[in-house]
Amino acid sequence: MPPVIKTNTYTKLFGDLRAVDTVSLSVEKGSLFGLLGQNGSGKTTMIKMLTGQMKPSSGTAEVLDIDPSKEPVAVREAVGIIPEQETPPSFLTSVEYLAFVGKIRNIEGIEEKSQWWFEYLDFGDKRDVLCKDLSRGTRQKLMFAQAFLHSPELALIDEPLINLDPIMQRKVKQFLTDYVQSGKTIFLSTHILEIAEEICTDFAILHKGKLLHTGTVRELTEKNIHLDDFFMDLVERGNKNV
Ligand SMILES: Nc1ncnc2c1ncn2[C@@H]1O[C@H](COP(=O)(O)OP(=O)(O)OP(=O)(O)O)[C@@H](O)[C@H]1O
């Protein structure tokens, strides 16, 4: 089966800065793939390029067989996206925002689907509140719901858990785990290594734009190595080599 995401020497330059530097990676269907890295390591830039929000300086990518730099709209239609730190439009209520996404994405039964999310993430009491008046965590719940409303084959989600309380984090982690078990794929960017270790099947470590490692979480567990120790070690060695 072809990979769901494949990049080949994917590179993004901002002036002299190599934000993403010749990254070649593959993401298999059914994986919960964690893109890990320190602040500024290039994770968000990767997601922006893979979702057609930004063109690479060089290199290629295929996302669900679509080249995001040539067909940015097609890729965004196909996938679910939670952009980093993005908030829903201030002038719509929660329920209006989900209806709006439903319209753009041509989703049938949007009322019931929205209701499912309000109940699942326990924010039905905020359905008629303007997004500008929602707490950060509730906005994040809403962004989470909009990304999965059309049950995409692939969701690219940038730090989706950061503002959620522990109970909601647990629910979201369970949702993501079940989602990939149903054969769909998640590409998750995070620097919270405990979460990655708990739910990811596969991971890649980016450091100053370069790919330092890709592998499975199971390989580490079998060797009794914690992901955070592995990460620190690799980044320390990466720093010495720069
Ligand atoms: N539009 C831009 N113009 C110039 N530099 C940029 C731009 N976007 C990102 N960068 C730089 O590219 C590098 C990678 O940024 P990116 O946001 O991809 O990192 P990140 O791994 O997502 O970081 P964080 O975990 O802090 O969100 C950083 O040095 C950042 O300052």
Q: Note down pLDDT in tens along the chain; length 242 residues.
A: 789 999 999 999 999 999 999 999 999 999 999 999 999 999 999 999 999 999 999 999 999 999 999 999 999 999 999 988 778 889 999 999 999 999 999 999 999 999 999 999 999 999 999 999 999 999 999 999 999 999 999 999 998 888 899 999 999 999 999 999 999 999 999 988 999 999 999 999 999 999 999 999 999 999 999 999 999 998 888 777 65
pLDDT for the residue numbered 85: 76
Q: How far is the CA of 100 from the centre of ligand 1 (A)?
A: 30
Closest among 25, 7, 12 to 213, alpha carbons compared: 25
Q: Where are the domains of the chain?
A: 1-79+153-213, 90-151
Phi and psi angles of residue 171, each rounded to the nearest 5 degrees, phi first: -65, -45
Which residue, by CA, sits nearest to atom 19 of ligand 1? 40
Q: How far is the CA of 86 from the centre of ligand 1 (A)?
A: 15
Which residue, by CA, sits nearest to atom 27 of ligand 1? 39
Q: What's the 3-state SS for 54-67?
A: CCCCEEEEEECCEC
Q: Is 217 helix (H, G, I), strand (E, B) or coil?
A: helix
Q: How far is the CA of 70 from the centre of ligand 1 (A)?
A: 23
Residue bearing tokens 């720069």:
242
- Examine the predicted complex and report whether its ipTM is higher than 0.85: yes
CA separation for the pair 204, 25 (Å, rounded)? 8
Fold assignment, 1-79+153-213: Rossmann fold (3.40.50)
Contact 165, 123 (CB under 8 A): no
CA atoms within 13 A on the CB side of 195: 24
CA separation for the pair 12, 221 (Å, rounded)? 33
Mutation test of ligand 1: which of 11, 12, 16, 17 has the most ligand atoms closer than 8 Å to its C-beta?
17
Q: How far is the CA of 40 from the centre of ligand 1 (A)?
A: 5
pLDDT for the residue numbered 182: 95
Q: Is 45 helix (H, G, I), strand (E, B) or coil?
A: helix
pLDDT for the residue numbered 161: 87
Phi and psi angles of residue 202, each rounded to the nearest 5 degrees, phi first: -130, 160
Closest among 214, 185, 170 to 4, alpha carbons compared: 185
Contact 196, 34 (CB under 8 A): yes
Which residue, by CA, sits nearest to atom 2 of ligand 1? 14
Strand order in the sheet with 185-190: 80-82, 154-158, 185-190, 32-37, 202-207, 210-216
Residue 64: DSSP 8-state: T
Contact 189, 46 (CB under 8 A): yes
pLDDT for the residue numbered 179: 97
Provide the b/e sequence for 138-152 (b: ≥16 CB within 10 Å).
bbbbbbbbbbbbbeb
Protein residues with CB under 6 Å of any ligand 1 atom:
14, 17, 19, 37, 39-45, 84, 191
CA separation for the pair 77, 95 (Å, rounded)? 21
pLDDT for the residue numbered 125: 97
Closest among 52, 57, 53 to 68, alpha carbons compared: 52
Q: pLDDT digits over 83-121, tens only?
A: 887 788 899 999 999 999 999 999 999 999 999 999 999
Q: How far is the CA of 36 from the centre of ligand 1 (A)?
A: 14
pLDDT for the residue numbered 87: 82
